[in-house]
Amino acid sequence: MKKSNLILVIFIIFIMVSSVIGFIYAPNDNGDLNQNLITYNGLDFQLTTDNRYVVDLNGNQILFDNDPNSLEEIILPNFQITQDKVYLIFNPEERDNNLDYSMAKLYSTLQVKGVRPVLACSKEENCSSDLPVKGCDSESFYFKKSNITNIYKDNKCIVLQGDDLIINKYVDKIDMSLIGA
């Protein structure tokens, strides 16, 4: 895959996520938005018609699949983004639509926060030639599918380990942290 194709794929993922947000962000029939509003740590989470939540952050809509209250039990390791570029690392053999969706959500939030996310493989085998191969020596979020569920720091990586549902919850919790919720 050429670099221009990768940019096109990322752009299409961004458009798809944005389109979903636009489609599902609709008030209920009686127009009462407050009925479907959760205020959490000073931010308004608007419940959508498909039971997701949207937060408007300076004109940018950030999508959450989980009620912010349901994520309180997740304890994030201490992390700070100190660079303008962060890697989203994945095992190419584990990549599927669910993983792409979770990565696209984090990718979008990082962009809103002014950080340039870069997709990267955890190993060279089956990795697209235009993606870098990265380890935890750079600031990264490492998506790792596993039967074991855990979120932890490994060197400069935040490792999101678990099944698709857990990884999605971890992404929502990280996104909440990034936007200050």
| Paired sense of beta strands 85-90 and 150-154, if any | unpaired
Q: What is the CB-side half-sphere exposure of residue 134 using CA atoms within 13 A?
A: 24
Q: Which residues of the chain have pLDDT under 70?
A: 1-9, 11-35
Task: Give the phi and the psi of residue 161 in degrees, each rounded to 5.
Answer: -115, 130
Q: What is the DSSP letter of 122?
A: S
Q: What is the CATH number of domain 85-179?
A: 3.30.379.10
pLDDT of residue 177: 95
Cα 178 from Cα 43, distance rounded (Å): 12
Would you say 133 and 121 are in contact if contact means Cβ atoms under 8 Å apart? yes
Give the whole-angstrom CA distance, residue 8 versus residue 3.
Answer: 9
Whole-number pLDDT of residue 2 = 58
For the chain, the domains span: 3-70, 85-179
What pLDDT score does 30 carry? 45
How much is the pLDDT for 142?
A: 98
